[in-house]
């Protein structure tokens, strides 16, 4: 995988999360579903565990990346580190989507902000240019 491929994948993941949240916002406005109040506290606890897990796992996966040396080709670095990078991105994207689904089900804004926004920030903070 090259840096350009990584950038395309990363951009698609970020855009996918943003689009899903936008679609869910429209769905909530149009259909105005009844919030699942009885599940709110359970989903908040799951959401909290989800976002903490993503932050910890992103840190672990980031620490496994080898530093890019001056003598090393950037494409070779991406080939060597693509698996932990993609897993880290997938975890952050998945957590953001879980937060969006929980928000769709409950209408609870702290879940959307606490999980989706934080997970999206983890994803953006670990963009290809920052690795």
> What total of structural domains would you count in the chain?
1
Where do we find the tokens 């290809």? 128
Between CA 44 and CA 115 the distance in angstroms is 9
Quick one: pLDDT at residue 17? Answer: 94
Chain Cα centroid distance, residue 44: 17
Q: pLDDT by residue (tens digit) across 27-80? A: 988 988 777 778 888 988 999 999 999 999 999 999 988 887 776 788 888 888
Higher pLDDT, 68 or 21: 21
Domain that holds residue 30: 3-130
Q: Which residues, at least 6 apart from 25, have a Cβ–Cβ distance to it below 8 Å? A: none
Higher pLDDT, 97 or 69: 97
- Tell me the pTM: 0.86
Selection from 11, 14, 2, 8 nearest residue 92 by Cα: 14
User: Could you please report the per-residue DSSP string of 90-101?
Assistant: HHHHHHHHHHHH
């Amino acid at each position: 995988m090259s840096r350009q491929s990584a950038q395309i994948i990363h951009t698609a993941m970020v855009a996918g999360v943003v689009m899903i949240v936008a679609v869910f916002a429209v769905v909530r406005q149009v259909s105005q579903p009844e919030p699942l109040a009885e599940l709110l506290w359970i989903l908040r606890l799951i959401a909290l565990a989800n976002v903490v897990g993503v932050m910890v796992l992103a840190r672990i996966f980031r620490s496994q990346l080898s530093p890019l040396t001056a003598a090393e080709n950037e494409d070779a670095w991406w080939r060597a580190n693509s698996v932990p990078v993609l897993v880290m991105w997938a975890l952050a994207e998945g957590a953001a989507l879980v937060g969006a689904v929980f928000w769709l089900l409950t209408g609870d804004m702290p879940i959307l902000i606490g999980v989706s926004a934080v997970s999206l920030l983890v994803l953006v903070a670990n963009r290809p240019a920052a690795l």
